[in-house]
Chain A
């Protein structure tokens, strides 16, 4: 049976253009889909990002911008727009790129892919409408018995089904590419990573459907009752696992960016692919991360689940934490930057916004998001931080300073290579990843600091001025929330520059013609490295070893500091 008969009416004919920078064959139908998904992603980033700024300015006690009802409304919208819509639209673009473009293949069923895209757009709009109407301020997590309008849930369901179609198109394109022999041997590592993301996405969306469909029926009055604990167990199989789609996707983009910009090959394909494989096997266990402080759940289940089965998925991320900088070091040494321990790093293309975004994402994701995630997800330590603003601190380290920054960096490759436009305002573009990265790292750290001092998340007024029994947080907590506001402004400036550069480039950037020299050039042969299978041969990595050692020491110290905090708490069992 051919792929066509499996998938249905697939046009065997597709139009291609040849990319002058990477040598790749680009299916124009895939290119149009990548453009549409990337544009939708950026639109929702702009909306959700602005909402994020309003949230941060309200939580800055000295500013306290929005009234309470607006604050909870905007916070609900912020979560849905950036955590779901921005990231998933971009990921669908990544899936189409990693299948059709990297494998020199035509994309499967482009018309069906457009149907999926339209469903995602309609769903995202429906949910936004429900939120803005004001009676669905239930937060992104929408825990029952708190109830939103039916179209809040229906929008999410539509969006998820559209995304599922995107995953199906990705799998079908892999099948077509294999059958039509558009590549030799194993798929390239970047495609392998994207495959990981797509497999996790299917699991995630299934979990989402299992819980959101009954919740939608409940909001319509067709089901009488949703058990709140059951909801949290299943919802988080979507809510946390969907963040593992992001991890797989942005790690793939780290490898892609490193390949395109410095010609980096993985140190060994086996190790990097096994690390991705660990994600498929274990990362999606993570729903317990949110249930460690819940009643009735057994400690043995919590321990196995929260540690992703003995930290085997964390092992995967720690492996990428060595192999990504290691691949860059090896490639840079091949490129001639071989002096001393760190010449390779000093002379890396820091002025290229794609590289800056990628490398800062790697550092922040590991040091801030990764370490705090393990600590937060440790069974007993969780009681110190559960539902405090430490939790948003952690996930802004992963999905903002990690995923979003990596996606922004990748956008500086998408603009010239897919939209075929020269980047407008290159000086602004150069600064952008640094501004956004420092802002995002700052908000993560200061929210974590405030959470350690007990500041609650999703809370309009930490002065408790309207409460009958007053309570005062420490001065340190207020300082942290103020610093959080300042760094949110820095991140917002970086975000606004990003939107300006992207929109400006798409509409007014110089059209790239044959022989055009890119402002931000690729590494010669980078396209071939990214799209082919192959490991580095016998590299020396003294710089990477030092970086990884620093990371490990920070990890161990921070882990034990938190156990010390825990041991000083009141006793409970």
Chain B
């Protein structure tokens, strides 16, 4: 190194290569755009996860879900109640070892306040094949306003590891087409 001319010794005084400077500016602006787009989606987008949540004892949540299922049960499937709540009401779904309970029957184009909680371990609410994935904690009641935009039969699987039966933890949501007259009455100018 003795033959090379002395180099500058303080790194923050070094010049910046032009090509680097251009790339730094492009990358910085792209980062700024992506940052802004997350904020913007809260205003222009229809898919933003609610932060509405309440502390609740698992036993209290279980009681609420039981009451809800009794009130709106329409039939039974493999011993699990199928529950068809009134449009626009609060809907309770419970994650436990190892099932999502009860089975829900919703109407397309109607918004429901879906409550999610677990009574034992962490679970992962994963609506398939739609692919909406939400973490479910015991002790926290998470409330999401959900509007199905497709009709048919949908699976709920668990995608947070919850012990040896994790891969048997499933649930179901049916979405039915609503009658047109009802839809118009319910959602003036709706989707």
Contact = CB atoms under 8 A, between A and B. Distances in A.
Of A388, A474, A559, chain B has the most CB atoms within 10 Å of the CB of: A388
B46 A293 contact: no
Of A270, A384, A460, chain B has the most CB atoms within 10 Å of the CB of: A270
Interface residues of A, number: 96
A303 B47 contact: no
A383 B133 CA distance: 5
Contacts, number: 282
Main secondary structure of the interface of A (DSSP, over half): loop
Given A318-B27, A570-B148, A466 B167 contact: yes
Interface string A356-400: 000000000000000000100011100111111000000000000
Contact of B46 (A295, A319, A573): A573
Contacts of B78: 468-469
A378 B42 CA distance: 13
A307 B38 contact: yes
Nearest to A555: B30
B46 A559 contact: no
Main secondary structure of the interface of B (DSSP, over half): mixed
A268 B16 contact: yes
A268 B13 CA distance: 10
Contacts of B155: 469, 471-472
A471 B77 CA distance: 15
A528 B1 contact: yes
Interface in B10-47: 10-17, 19-20, 23-24, 26-28, 30-32, 34-35, 37-39, 41-42, 45-47
Contacts of A184: 9
B21 to A, nearest CB: 8
A467 B126 contact: no
Contact of B51 (A271, A296, A534): A296
Nearest to B169: A467
A303 B38 contact: yes
B47 A569 contact: yes
Given A388-B159, A456-B124, A532 B38 contact: no
A533 interface: yes
A486 to B, nearest CB: 22
A386 B124 contact: yes
A143 B142 CA distance: 19
A116 to B, nearest CB: 30
A454 B126 contact: yes
B10 to A, nearest CB: 7
B159 A459 contact: yes
Interface string B114-138: 0010001110101111111111111
A271 B24 contact: yes
Interface stretch (A107-115, A309-317, A488-496): A309-317
A429 interface: no
Given A383-B49, A471-B157, A571-B149, A296 B14 contact: no
Interface in A49-92: 68-69, 72
A521 B138 CA distance: 58
Interface string A537-573: 0110100110010001001100100010011011111
Interface string B142-180: 101111111000010111111110111111100000000
B23 A322 contact: yes
B87 interface: no
A185 B14 CA distance: 13
Nearest to B171: A469
Contacts of A573: 46-50, 144-145
A307 B142 contact: no
Contacts of B68: none
Contacts of B15: 268, 270
Nearest to B15: A268
A323 B49 contact: no
Contacts of B24: 271, 315, 319
B170 A572 contact: no
B138 A228 contact: yes
A38 B118 CA distance: 44
Nearest to A298: B51
A311 B31 contact: yes
A439 B130 CA distance: 30
Nearest to A138: B161
Contact of B162 (A146, A388, A532): A146
A464 interface: yes
A240 interface: no
B29 to A, nearest CB: 10
B167 A68 contact: yes
Interface in A242-298: 267-271, 273-274, 291-298
B72 interface: no
B14 A535 contact: yes
Contact of B35 (A310, A552, A566): A310
A470 interface: yes
A458 B161 contact: yes
Contacts of A499: none
A461 B164 CA distance: 11
Contacts of B150: 570
A227 interface: yes
A572 B130 contact: no
Contact of B17 (A267, A274, A470): A267
Contacts of A458: 159-161, 166
Interface string A518-532: 000000000010001
B7 interface: yes
Given A388-B131, A572-B145, A467 B167 contact: yes
A416 interface: no
A460 B136 CA distance: 20
27 contacts: A72-B161, A72-B164, A145-B122, A145-B138, A270-B13, A303-B38, A303-B39, A311-B32, A312-B31, A323-B20, A386-B133, A386-B159, A388-B133, A454-B126, A459-B167, A460-B166, A464-B170, A467-B168, A469-B170, A472-B155, A533-B9, A534-B7, A567-B47, A569-B149, A570-B148, A572-B144, A572-B146
Closest 3 CB pairs of A and B: A311-B31, A471-B155, A456-B159
Given A229-B140, A454-B129, A469-B77, 16 more contacts: A268-B20, A271-B17, A307-B31, A307-B38, A314-B31, A319-B24, A380-B47, A386-B124, A386-B159, A452-B131, A460-B167, A469-B103, A469-B155, A571-B47, A571-B111, A572-B145
